[in-house]
Amino acid sequence: MADLEDLYREIILDHYRSPRNRGELTCPPAHRAEGFNPLCGDEVIVFIELVDGKLADLKTNGQGCSISQSSASLMSEAAIGKSVDEIKEIATAFKAMLGVTNEDGEAVDTSSAQLGDMEALKGVMKFPVRIKCALLGWNTLLTGIDEGQG
Ligand code: ZN
């Protein structure tokens, strides 16, 4: 399926070159969280605004490899406007797509989650070192949400 791989590569490059929801939000009311992947030198900064249990706004910033930055961009599109519970569900499904199991080591049922263009990152699964790059944005967002709620 060379065509599908080409399409996936195109989506990743497009989000790397033109990241969506790039920038900063004023803190407060927004909350800032920062993630770093020392293996690759990737950095993702998220600015989140939670209103009534929903992610009302999200901006991302940072620098690093195409996987980390395109994943953060794809994440921002998927997460804005969603409830915290929905975001955690998508994050779990995304991790499961990359072969990452939950804390109990059990496989996760991802049938209900809509990953959309994020499926373009599925190929990363073949490169275990890059999985941390793909997860950096999501893990930073989840940390920020926990901190922002607390
Ligand atoms: Zn990376």
pLDDT tens by residue, 61-114 = 999 999 999 999 999 999 999 999 999 999 999 999 998 876 666 666 665 567
User: How far does residue 93's CA lie from ligand 1's centre (Å)?
Assistant: 20
Look at residue 102 in the predicted model and tell me its pLDDT: 64
Residue type for 126, please? K
Average pLDDT over residues 6-10: 90
Look at residue 101 in the predicted model and tell me its pLDDT: 74
HEC profile of 18-80: CCCCECCCCCCCCEEEEEEECCCCEEEEEEEEEECCEEEEEEEEEECCHHHHHHHHHHHHHHC
- Residues 36-53: pLDDT tens digits? 999 999 999 999 999 999
Phi, psi at 20, each rounded to 5°: -85, 150
User: How far does residue 85's CA lie from ligand 1's centre (Å)?
Assistant: 27
Query: Residue 33: how many CA atoms within 13 Å on its side-chain side?
Result: 20
In the chain, % of residues over pLDDT 70:
90
CA dihedral 73, 77, 82, 86 (to 10 degrees): -70
What residues pack around ion ligand 1 (CB closer than 5 A)? 40, 42, 65, 68, 133
8 A C-beta contact, residue 97 and residue 7: no
∠ CA(117), CA(119), CA(123), 5° rounding? 135
Distance CA(116)–CA(12), nearest Å, equals 13
User: How far does residue 34's CA lie from ligand 1's centre (Å)?
Assistant: 15
Look at residue 105 in the predicted model and tell me its pLDDT: 60
